[in-house]
């Protein structure tokens, strides 16, 4: 005689059915993503042929990824931790992106800064190829030269003696741009210091509805930070963070990295309004990139 069925047997069968359904949907999603990659490649090849400028297909879309995760968190309910949902989707997002084309990450992670490796792994997944480099400049170079899709570098600090971000203050098309701030949904069990990181890549800065933009402002004349801040605010560019680097040559320019609480692109009229307010002070403004404002999820909460 077979043993009598218990209520647990029915619940376990239900879990097995749910697991099969999730797996089926993952395989279905992968098939759709592969089709997306084919269509993207065809469209960008056609655009390159029409313009005479061959285009490299762009598969990484940090802005869309942020929008997806915000939408999921807005509908999330029940006891399953929200931060775990984000971690699962982050793993899937990178895995699906790799179906469309090459994907590799260069992480600033010297021996005493292994925490940056952890937040990069949490964001880009456990199977993406990742390489540790000993300087932010090496991460920038890896992205510029195409050996990495993404570079992960420390969030800028005022006391950085040789700030990496000044190498991004350029209009060169091969200069990487900031595309994300890490971690996007809490640090989890990442090791080391709790300093945030920025992801850089050769992809466009796109709006998500809740963004920060990083401006590189190069001034030919000395100007106090207070006056610079006033000119930015009057122009509608509310600054949330400043870093400044002065050239070793006293007659050289000063470069300010300014984080603005909004999405700003090259066509934004606020940039020309700001330049006009400076009058005769020589100024060059570059958009260093930007990022979607991270989610605020507690690692201990079960939302």
- Give the per-residue pLDDT at 161: 81
- Give the per-residue pLDDT at 109: 92
Average pLDDT over residues 188-208: 89
pLDDT tens across 43-56, in order? 777 766 666 655 56
pLDDT tens across 231-274, in order? 999 999 999 999 998 877 666 678 999 999 999 999 999 999 99
d(CA 25, CA 21): 6
Going by pLDDT thresholds of 50, 70 and 90, the confidence category of residue 1 is: low
66 or 282: which carries more pLDDT confidence? 66
For residue 63, is pLDDT > 90? Answer: yes
* pLDDT cut 70: percent of the chain above it: 91
- Give the per-residue pLDDT at 64: 95
- Give the per-residue pLDDT at 52: 60
Helix axes 82-100, 62-75, angle to 10 degrees: 150
Nearest to 292 by CA among 34, 14, 64, 2: 64
Handedness of CA 45, 46, 47, 53 (dihedral sign): positive
- Give the per-residue pLDDT at 302: 46
- Give the per-residue pLDDT at 303: 43
Mean pLDDT, the chain, rounded, equals 89
Burial class (CB in 10 A: 0-12, 13-18, 19+), 83: buried
The rounded Cα 41 to chain-centroid distance in angstroms is 23
* pLDDT cut 90: percent of the chain above it: 67
Average pLDDT over residues 9-35: 94
Average pLDDT over residues 80-108: 93
48 or 79: which carries more pLDDT confidence? 79
pLDDT tens across 110-137, in order? 887 888 999 999 999 999 999 999 999 9
Going by pLDDT thresholds of 50, 70 and 90, the confidence category of residue 191 is: confident
Q: Which two tokens stand for residue 92?
A: 């899937």
Highest mean pLDDT (candidates 169-173, 190-194, 297-301): 169-173
């Amino acid at each position: 005689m077979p043993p009598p069925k218990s209520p647990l047997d029915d619940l376990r069968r239900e879990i097995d059915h749910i697991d099969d359904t999730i797996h089926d949907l993952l395989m279905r999603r992968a098939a759709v993503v592969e089709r997306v990659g084919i269509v993207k490649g065809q469209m960008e090849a056609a655009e390159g042929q029409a313009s005479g400028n061959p285009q490299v297909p762009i598969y990484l879309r940090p802005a869309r990824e942020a929008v997806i995760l915000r939408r999921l968190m807005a509908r999330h309910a029940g006891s399953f931790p929200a931060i775990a949902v984000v971690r699962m989707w982050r793993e899937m997002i990178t895995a699906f992106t790799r179906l469309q084309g090459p994907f590799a990450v260069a992480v600033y992670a010297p021996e005493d800064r292994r925490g940056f490796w952890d937040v990069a792994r949490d964001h880009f997944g456990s199977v993406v190829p990742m390489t540790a480099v000993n300087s932010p400049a090496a991460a920038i170079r890896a992205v510029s030269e195409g050996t990495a899709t993404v570079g992960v570098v420390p969030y800028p600090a005022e006391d950085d003696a040789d700030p990496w971000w000044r190498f991004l203050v350029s209009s060169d098309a091969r200069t990487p741009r900031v595309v994300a701030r890490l971690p996007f949904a809490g640090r989890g069990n990442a090791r080391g210091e709790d300093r945030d990181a920025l992801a850089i890549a050769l992809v466009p800065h796109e709006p998500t509805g809740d963004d920060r933009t990083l401006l590189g402002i190069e001034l030919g004349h000395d100007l106090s930070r207070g006056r610079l801040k006033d000119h930015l605010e009057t122009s509608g560019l509310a600054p949330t963070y400043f870093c400044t680097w002065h050239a070793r040559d006293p007659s050289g320019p000063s470069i300010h990295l300014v984080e603005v609480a909004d999405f700003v692109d090259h066509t934004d009229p606020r940039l020309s309004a700001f330049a006009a307010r400076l009058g005769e002070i020589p100024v060059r403004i570059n958009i260093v990139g930007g990022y979607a404002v991270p989610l605020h999820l507690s690692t201990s909460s079960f939302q």
